[in-house]
Amino acid sequence: MKDRFDILLGVLLLSCAVAIVGLLAGSGSQASQRDLALDKALEQEIAYQAKVSFLERVYAPVIELRAQGQNESALLKLDELSRQYPAEAHGELLRGEILLQFGAKQKAIAHLARAVRMNGDYVDRHSPLSRRELIDPLLDRELVEMKQQADANPESSTVRAALKDLYYLQGRMAGGCE
């Protein structure tokens, strides 16, 4: 500080710093949030919960048909829904689950991998959509078997594709940055 003007600037600067901290601290209060109408985290959470509810509602008939043991009808219903919502991963996931029940492993793996590619929530521990409990044992069972099949049929492109999808799912289950 060299002269009075420098001192004045210093004091004003300090006041600004205190004001910024005070205002920021105040912005966290509920009343302030109401005034600002800006809580992006809450907006994001609402949008996510709405999406989960939407998926539950849209795919409820498929779940119902599966519960009644009518898996073929459930697949037909999924065909209908996939025409309506072609970019939705949940249909892929449900199709994978049904095909797995049918024993069509390679097709099931392809659909499950596609679902995870479209929506990482299926391998997320914290998501209500998580299917880790389905994918984990699938990997334990199928990785060894599919490797053996790939060794026995090196020319088979379907086996190679299934193995590649399994490796993809294994990598996603291992975590890491996305």
Partner 1 sequence: MRLVLRDPHTWLVMLAGGLLGLAGVMLALLGNPQNSGICVSCFLENSAGALGLHDNARMQYLRPELIGFVLGSTLAAVGFREFSSKGGSAPLPRLLSGVFLIVGCSVFIGCPIKLFLRLAAGDLTTLTGLLGLVGGVWLGLKGLAAGVDLGRAKKKPDGSGLWTPLLFVLLLLFLFIRPGFVLFSERGSAAEAAPILIALGIGLLLGAAAQRTRFCVTGGLRDLMIMGMRAPLFWGFIVFVLVAFAAGLATGTFNLGFYGQPGAHLDLLWSFFGMLLVGSVSVLIGGCPFRQLIKAGEGDADAGLVVIGMFLGAGLVQAWQIAGTAAGVPVYGKIAVVLGLAFILMNLLFFRERAAA
In whole angstroms, what is the distance from residue 51 CA to residue 114 CA? 19
In whole angstroms, what is the distance from residue 3 CA to residue 145 CA? 81
Contact pattern from residue 45 through residue 84 relative to partner 1, giving x for each residue in contact according to CB under 8 A and a dash for the rest: x--x------------------------------------
- Judged by CB under 8 A, which stretch of 5-13, 16-24, 92-100, 102-110 contacts partner 1? 16-24
CB of 6 to partner 1, least distance (A): 13
SS3 assignment, position 125: coil
- Cβ closest to partner 1, residue 94 vs residue 166: 166
Helix axes 60-67, 71-84, angle to 10 degrees: 170
Q: Do residues 92 and 115 lie in contact, with contact meaning Cβ atoms separated by under 8 Å?
A: yes
- Cβ closest to partner 1, residue 69 vs residue 171: 171
- Beta-carbon contacts of 138 under 8 Å, excluding residues fewer than 6 positions away, are 100, 109, 112, 169
103 scored as a contact of partner 1 (CB under 8 A): no
Positions in the binding site for partner 1 (CB under 8 A): 20-21, 24-25, 27-28, 33, 36, 38-42, 44-45, 48, 117, 120-121, 124, 126-127, 167-168, 170-178
